Amino acid sequence: MQILNVELGDRSYPIYIGSGISSDKKLLSSSIRGARVAVVTNETVAPLYLKKLKDQLSDFEIIEIILPDGEQYKNLEYLNKIFDSLIEKHCNRDVTLIALGGGVIGDMTGFAAASYQRGVDFIQIPTTLLSQVDSSVGGKTGVNHALGKNMIGAFYQPKAVFIDIDTLDTLPDKELSAGLAEVIKYGLIADAEFFAWLEKNIDRLIARDKSALEQAIFTSCKAKADVVAKDERESGIRALLNLGHTFGHAIETGMGYGTWLHGEAVAAGMVMAADLSRRKGWLDESDLGRIRDLISRAHLPVGGPDSLDVDQYIRLMSVDKKVKQGKIRFVLLEKIGVALVTDDVTEEQLHQTLSACRGG
């Protein structure tokens, strides 16, 4: 087992990474301070891991909250079902919520924890690669709105994150690839050596080699933990973690939540960001080719859907959280391993990128 810490003063918390760690009853119990636990999961994950988790929590009173599986259920209606269960069971501020699932479950459980009685403890047990390397770390919680992704939420940190690599054994191939998009992102924004490592080891990751997965997860989580420690509320460098997300969120919203997986949309968005960076004269053609090649080898799309036109993209991006003073802000690449945030993009450059990066 490897342990990282997200350093946030009195709100610091550990990230445990390894095989079988969710079976460590003592370790899990040490992060729970009350007598009651509400486990929030979904209909896909529950048959796989809920009983096993309940066995580790036999010393606690357990409330099960099982939601439908899918991004289309990440909304206020289904968030309210978590509140319904907590109130019906007369839960007070001593309850601990546990998110057992992927990014949707983690985001919704965290937002419920931030809101219920103005704040209760919660723990992340992410079961997808994407949630393990991204959404479970850093305290971004929330739900989607019909007009924009993650537009309603809060910054609220968990008490601990337990990343059990064994849960990836049951993850569909498509979901594994979606998680690799976020792994690739860390190499692109801050670590050229890690990007080169991914180029050499992407086939091992696709094949679910445990040692390769553990190294990729640890490196990704460390990168995110370091950024969050410096900029918890995204007032500065944390915005770099949004590489590909401005384009990706437009794809998810425009196509309907759940049509494209989040990681698929981010992958296409990263290629768009790289293409736009080349048009600004930063990336050269060979680096753009390396990025497209690695994303393709991870079995991810290298362009957006044909059904979204340029005007739709711009309309959807204009309601993104990263818009400031009416201008869309992009995370772009000066080179592989060096990212920056800018709104200095011409209409022509943006139109050229959106037109060129289609048919993913």
Task: Select which of 159, 185, 249, 329 is catalytic.
Answer: 249
- Element holding 199 (H helix, E strand): helix 192-206
**Catalytic one of 140, 159, 278, 322:** 140
Q: Is residue 232 annotated as a catalytic residue, yes or no?
A: no
Known active-site residue 185: no
Mean pLDDT across the chain: 95
Annotated catalytic residue within 242, 278, 279, 329: 242
Model pLDDT, residue 24: 84
Backbone angles phi, psi at 327, to 5 degrees: -115, 135
Which of 74, 149, 159, 238 is the catalytic position?
238
The answer to whether residue 222 is catalytic is: no
CA distance 267 to 289: 14
Task: Name the active-site residue from 26, 51, 90, 118.
Answer: 118
Q: Which domains does the chain have, with CATH numbers?
A: 2-170 (3.40.50.1970), 173-356 (1.20.1090.10)
Cβ atoms of residues 231 and 237 within 8 Å: yes
Active site residue 89: no
Which two structure tokens, joined as six digits, stand for 231? 């900029």
Write down the catalytic residue from 262, 279, 290, 329: 262
- Decide if 242 is catalytic: yes
The pLDDT of residue 326 is 78
Is residue 335 among the annotated active site residues? no
Q: State yes or no: is 262 an active-site residue.
A: yes
71 is catalytic: no
Reference 136, options 144, 147, 145, 128; nearest CA is 128
> 4 forms bridges with which residues in the sheet?
15
Q: Which range has the worst mean pLDDT, 22-26, 89-93, 224-228? A: 22-26
Q: Are strands 61-67 and 121-126 parallel, antiparallel or unpaired?
A: unpaired
Structure tokens that stand for 103 in this block = 């990014």
How sure is the predictor about 226, in pLDDT bands with cuts at 50, 70 and 90?
A: very high
Sign of CA dihedral 161, 164, 165, 168: negative
Q: Is 249 labeled as catalytic in the residue annotation?
A: yes
Q: Annotated catalytic residue: which of 185, 245, 278, 329?
A: 245
Are 291 and 202 in contact by the 8 Å Cβ rule? The answer is no
pLDDT, tens only, 68-96? 999 999 999 999 999 999 999 999 999 99
Alpha-carbon span 258 to 305, nearest angstrom: 14
Mean pLDDT of 176-180: 98
Q: Which of 144, 150, 159, 182 is an active site residue? A: 182
Residue 325: what pLDDT? 72
Helix (H), strand (E) counts: the chain: 13, 11
Q: Which of 71, 234, 252, 264 is catalytic?
A: 234
| 96-143 per-position pLDDT tens digit | 999 999 999 999 999 999 999 999 999 999 999 999 999 999 999 999
Give the separation between CA 89 and CA 242, rounded to whole angstroms. 38
Q: Among 224, 279, 321, 322, which one carries the catalytic annotation?
A: 224
| 315 classed as catalytic | no
What is the pLDDT at residue 359? Answer: 78
- Given pLDDT bands bounded at 50, 70 and 90, which one contains residue 360? low
